Homo-oligomer: A and B are copies of this chain.
Amino acid sequence: MAGSAAYAGSVHLADELRARGVRVTQPRQLVWDVLSDHGGHLSAAEVAQRVQARDRGVNQSSVYRALALFAELDLVRESRTGNDSATTWELSHPDGVIHLVCDVCGTVLHHRTNRVEQLRSDLAANATFTATAIDVHVTGRCPTCAG
């Protein structure tokens, strides 16, 4: 649960898992590959679909279990991005990267800001709350859809 994992974008899954005494398996590897290759947000169903495109025999539950495991290890992050019901998943970000979700086309842009770190220090100074994770979620219009 600690934020100690290396930036997930550069992680070699097998090493990371073995280092933590967790087994490396085909379903887990495929879930990881799909998320890295895609680079953005995917729902569990989308991940499953893409995984199954590569190996027909992998079951949905294994995808869910792999995602939950990776989240536990801080390798991926669950984010309730959509107006939709399904939650989405992507590789963990370094701190300070936030999500800009377009209301119109639905794409999710990433944006680096130091406001997150500033907020973190504000809170630390106040001693009102010990922040672990800070999640910023902006909705609006992307450059393409603004008009």
In the complex, the answer to whether A135 meets B132 with C-beta atoms within 8 Å is no
**Given A115-B118, A119-B115, A138 and B146 contact (CB-CB distance below 8 Å):** no
In the complex, the answer to whether B109 meets A129 with C-beta atoms within 8 Å is yes
Rounded to whole angstroms, the CA-CA distance of A38 and B133 in the bound complex is: 26
A136 interface hit (Cβ, 8 Å): yes
> What is the 8 Å Cβ interface bit string for chain A, positions 84-127, against chain B (1 contact, 0 not)?
00000000000000001011000001010101001100110001
In the complex, the answer to whether B119 meets A136 with C-beta atoms within 8 Å is yes
In the complex, the answer to whether B111 meets A138 with C-beta atoms within 8 Å is no
Please give, as numbers and ranges, the residues of chain B lying within 8 Å of A25 by CB-CB distance.
none
In the complex, what residue of chain B is closest to A99 when comparing beta carbons? B135
- 14 interchain pairs (CB within 8 A)? A100-B131, A103-B132, A109-B129, A113-B119, A115-B122, A118-B118, A119-B138, A129-B142, A131-B138, A131-B140, A132-B141, A134-B139, A136-B136, A137-B137
Give 18 new A-B contacts, CB below 8 A, not counting A115-B119, A129-B140, A129-B143. Answer: A80-B80, A100-B123, A109-B128, A111-B128, A113-B119, A115-B122, A119-B136, A119-B138, A123-B138, A129-B138, A130-B146, A131-B138, A131-B140, A132-B141, A134-B137, A134-B138, A135-B137, A137-B137
